[in-house]
Amino acid sequence: MTQSHHPALDAAQRRRLANAIRFLAIDGVEAAKSGHPGMPMGMADLAEVLWRDYYKHNPSNPKWPDRDRFVVSNGHGSMLHYAALHLAGYDLPVQELKNFRQLHSKTAGHPEFGITPGVETTTGPLGQGIANAVGLALAEKLLAARYNKDGFNIVDHRTFVFLGDGCLMEGISHEACSLAGVFGLNKLVAYYDDNGISIDGHVEGWFRDDTAARFKAYGWHVIGPIDGHDVAAIAAATQEALAQRDKPTLIIARTQIGWGSPNKVGTEEVHGAALGAAEVAATRAALGWEHAPFEIPDDIRAAWDARPAGAAKEAAWNALFADYAAKYPLEADEFKRTQAGHLPKTWLKTAQDLIAGARSVTAAVATRKSSQVALETLVPQMPELLGGSADLTGSNLTAAKASASFHNVGAVGNYVSYGVREFGMAAIMNGVALHGGFIPYGGTFAVFSDYMRNGMRMSALMKQRVIYVLTHDSIGLGEDGPTHQPVEHAAALRCIPNLDVWRPCDALETAVAWKAAVERHEGPAALLLSRQNLPQQKSTDASADLIARGGYVLSESELPLNVVIIATGSEVSLAIAAQTQLAALGIGARVVSMPSTNVFDRQDAAYRASVLPKGTPRVAVEAATSDSWWKYIGTDGGFVGMSSFGESAPAPVLYEHFGITCAHIVKTAQAVVEAHVSTPAIELSTN
């Protein structure tokens, strides 16, 4: 049973439709003199069958909530996606295909979310696309369980993904596909481009997995190998996949990279380079394609046009949703609100409760615990929060009382145990965020942010609201030792563009960090949280707004100002103690708490100068490397922190050992003040 509204075509006619993809890709790459023709030529027949007969989408509204999702995990094959989008009738005119890979075109080198209508996620880093697809399918399953009612399957769509050898070689595909099997994501259908080629040549020398056995072991339904150029076989495999009720499907499709090119087919040569004029001509002749570059005959255009069928499908869904909304108005409102990414109407009150609750804390509390307390306020009020941890729930404190674990088919849940799979978790959270309906957050130890770093980078690049809860944020975690003690991670995370890193010092700063992360529509946040208890700092009614600026004067000097001490997180209380001791020595010190350098850097110049006055020497204090701090303290500033890996010992012993102490801050401040006072003016030579 195909869903096509087009008349049945024979295999030769369908081959022509697939060849339209092939030649748009060939000619696009030729025009750019850069790109990857091999994959589009190899997977064109798969795309033709999937897109024309099964893929549920409406080119006129790429954001229709119940559309199927399509991901090209082997993102170097971007021209296949662009060609299909163009042919199906998306707002991607042929001029854009001619501008492949050029500045500000809608056809970037690899598919990019937010640039090209119909592209669901940014791919290119191999393996992450399939993990994003797992996230997309997970979101669908969770939303279906939550919102569907008898006779009202308002959430009922599939996630189709193309992937290649490279995606399967990458370790992240193991993490994500293993979870997809556990979760029984039966609406996930992956087409593996089994062409035996990657960049270095025939893969036997580096990739000999029994992929079918591997995926069966994950609990997937595996089909094939099939002939990836045989339309009937592709259709049969797809129908078998769509019939699965409790397993994701992998269709192993044997293809030839560069299919159609007489001299380059089946070779790595065609993976990532233009065919060249002679071979393009030879391919045109071999396939009987007589059309000029970028010219598509009307009958082929008509056969590809998915707009009428897509509009009809969306209209049917809109009617269903209208009936649903009449019967279940609360659910419908919540569905629409969360799909749009809007916060609940009660958000202002929730945020006030969050801040007020944090301000009422007096005891010393670890910021990971304060984060959990924040979640106790947020989770019951925000069904869109989808929590989780990479097997460290009891350490990350990412579960609230209202967190309900999602385990399998049909289960309603708002908490995912990702297992020990940090990178998989990050990329799955990206897929969940991209799907819509959720704000995902997930925890691990801060030191393992390296494991998921490229996933975090992709959240930032795609401007997705994903919240990373990174606990055990310094040597303050103590006895687990240097393997578990982050040293360079704060600096490394802060330099990812569009990732807001927060390292709060107490319950109030933690609450403000959560508020900022949840309110941030345009990107991810990382919360660096302590394992050890931290004292509460003084606050006023103005504090929350000041904290939200990323850096602020926490404690002003009572003496004329000699030095500014900038501190974050667990070291803020040391700076406050040093301020008192410096005052006793006659040195006026101001303490600036800087929970987020990224947010502080976005403040206007006047505000920044009011916090860090020009000409006053500065000392930064952070139990981490100094790399984040030179831009604030200058080369003549002082730094108290780490310059090596940590050690295994109780935390107080380590703070002493590494000199991250009140006494050392005092000494460092004294030294920079003295150097500042005694610095003579430099005589400049005039010749």
Ligand X SMILES: Cc1ncc(C[n+]2csc(CCOP(=O)(O)OP(=O)(O)O)c2C)c(N)n1
Which chain residues interact with ligand X by CB under 6 A? 38-39, 74, 76, 124-126, 164-167, 170, 193, 195, 197-199, 257, 271
Single out the residue of 686, 359, 305, 270 nearest to residue 543, CA to CA. 359
Report the 10 Å Cβ neighbour count for 250: 29
- In the complex, minimum distance from the CB of residue 261 to ligand X, in angstroms, rounded to a whole number: 13
Q: Confirm or reject binding of residue 588 to Mg ion (CB under 5 A).
A: no
For CA atoms 417, 64, 58, 97, the dihedral sign is: negative
In the complex with Mg ion, the residue whose CB is nearer, 164 or 569, is: 164
Minimum distance from CB of 213 to ligand X (Å)? 19
Record the tokens describing residue 22, joined without a space: 């092939």
Whose Cβ is closer to Mg ion: residue 195's or residue 398's? 195
Name residues contacting Mg ion, limited to 548-577 (CB under 5 A).
none
CB of 193 to ligand X, least distance (A): 6
Contacts of 135 (CB under 8 A, 6+ apart): 427, 428, 429, 430, 431, 432, 433, 434, 435, 440
**Given 422, 509, 571, 622, which residue is catalytic?**
422
Backbone angles phi, psi at 498, to 5 degrees: 70, 10
Distances (CA, A) of 170 to 127, 176, 214, 656: 6, 11, 14, 42
Tell me whether residue 462 or residue 612 sits nearer to ligand X (CB atom).
462
Out of 35, 65, 118, 164, the only residue in the binding site for Mg ion (CB under 5 A) is 164
Q: 178 is in the binding site of which of Mg ion, ligand X, none (Cβ under 5 to 8 A by kind)?
A: none
Residue 417 and residue 404: Cα distance in Å, rounded?
10
User: How far apart (Å, rounded) are the C-alpha atoms in residues 140 and 501?
Assistant: 29
Helix (H) or strand (E) holding 161: strand 159-164
Distances (CA, A) of 151 to 148, 157, 669: 8, 15, 70
Local structure of 449: helix, strand or coil: helix
AA letter at 168? L
Residues 558, 583 contacting (CB under 8 angstroms): yes
126 binds, among Mg ion, ligand X, none (CB under 5 to 8 A by kind): ligand X
Q: Which does 370 bind (CB under 5 to 8 A by kind): ligand X, Mg ion, none?
A: none
Residue 269 annotated as catalytic? no
Distance of CA 507 to the CA centre of its chain: 27
Min separation Cβ 214 and Mg ion, Å: 16
Q: What is the CA radius of gyration of the chain?
A: 28
Give the position of tokens 């404690």. Answer: 555
Stretch touching Mg ion by CB under 5 A, among 119-127, 164-172, 212-220, 652-660: 164-172
Residue among 80 and 386 whose Cβ is closer to Mg ion = 80
Q: Which residue is associated with the tokens 């850097």?
A: 601
CB of 77 vs ligand X, minimal distance in Å: 6
Site for Mg ion in 174-203 (CB under 5 A): 195, 197-198
Closest to 638 (Cα-Cα) out of 663, 664, 619, 616? 619
Closer residue to ligand X, CB minimum distance, 21 or 525:
21
What is the chain's percent helix, strand, coil content, to nearest 5? Answer: 45, 15, 40
CA 418 from centroid of its chain's CA atoms: 15
- The answer to whether 649 and 643 have CB atoms below 8 angstroms apart is no
The nearer residue to Mg ion, 165 or 509, going by C-beta atoms, is 165
Handedness of CA 473, 477, 478, 484 (dihedral sign): negative
Give the chain's largest Cα–Cα span: 91
Question: Least distance in Å: CB of 183 to Mg ion?
Answer: 27
For 227, the token pair is: 């002939």
- Spell out a b/e string for 643-681, using b for 16 or more CB atoms within 10 Å of the CB, else e: eeebeeeebeebbeebebbbebbbebbbebbeebeeeee
Quick one: 141 or 174, whose CB is closer to ligand X? Answer: 174
> What is the number of residues in the chain?
687
How is residue 282 written in tokens? 């030879």
Say which entry of Mg ion, ligand X, none residue 365 contacts (CB below 5 to 8 A, set by partner kind).
none
User: What spatial distance separates the first Cα and last Cα of the chain, rounded to whole Å?
Assistant: 87
Give whichever of 254 and 284 is closer to ligand X, judged by the CB atom.
254
Q: How far is the CB of 271 from ligand X (least distance, A)?
A: 4
Q: Distance between CA 442 and CA 387 in Å, rounded?
A: 6
Of 142 and 197, CB closest to Mg ion: 197
Measured CA to CA, the distance from residue 420 to residue 452 in angstroms comes to 12
User: What one-character-per-residue DSSP string does 525-557 give?
Assistant: EEEEE-SSEEPPPP--TTHHHHHTTS-EEEE--
Asked if residue 422 lies in contact with residue 444, where contact means CB atoms within 8 angstroms, the answer is yes
Nearest distance, CB of residue 170 and ligand X, angstroms:
6
User: Residue 23 in contact with residue 8, Cβ under 8 Å?
Assistant: no
What does 131 bind: ligand X, Mg ion, none (CB cut-off 5 to 8 Å by kind)?
none
Distance CA 579, CA 263 (A): 75
Q: Name the residue number minimizing CB distance to ligand X.
A: 164
| Closest CB 90 distance from Mg ion, rounded Å | 27
Assess contact for 632 and 612: CB atoms under 8 A: yes
**Size, binding site for Mg ion by CB under 5 A:** 5
Say whether residue 455 binds Mg ion (CB under 5 A). Answer: no
Q: From the CB of 158, what's the least distance to ligand X, in Å?
A: 23
State the minimum distance, in angstroms, from the CB of residue 73 to ligand X.
Answer: 9
Residue 27 binding target from Mg ion, ligand X, none, CB below 5 to 8 Å by type: none
Contact between 266 and Mg ion by CB under 5 A: the answer reads no
From ligand X, Mg ion, none, which one binds at residue 125 (CB under 5 to 8 Å depending on kind)?
ligand X
Q: What minimum distance in Å lies between the beta carbon of 169 and ligand X?
A: 8
Cβ(504)–Cβ(510) below 8 Å: yes
CB of 425 closer than 8 Å to CB of 435: no
Q: CB under 5 to 8 A by kind: which of ligand X, Mg ion, none does 271 bind?
A: ligand X
Nearer to Mg ion, 198 or 398 (CB): 198
Q: Which residues are catalytic?
A: 422
Residues that bind Mg ion (CB under 5 A): 164-165, 195, 197-198
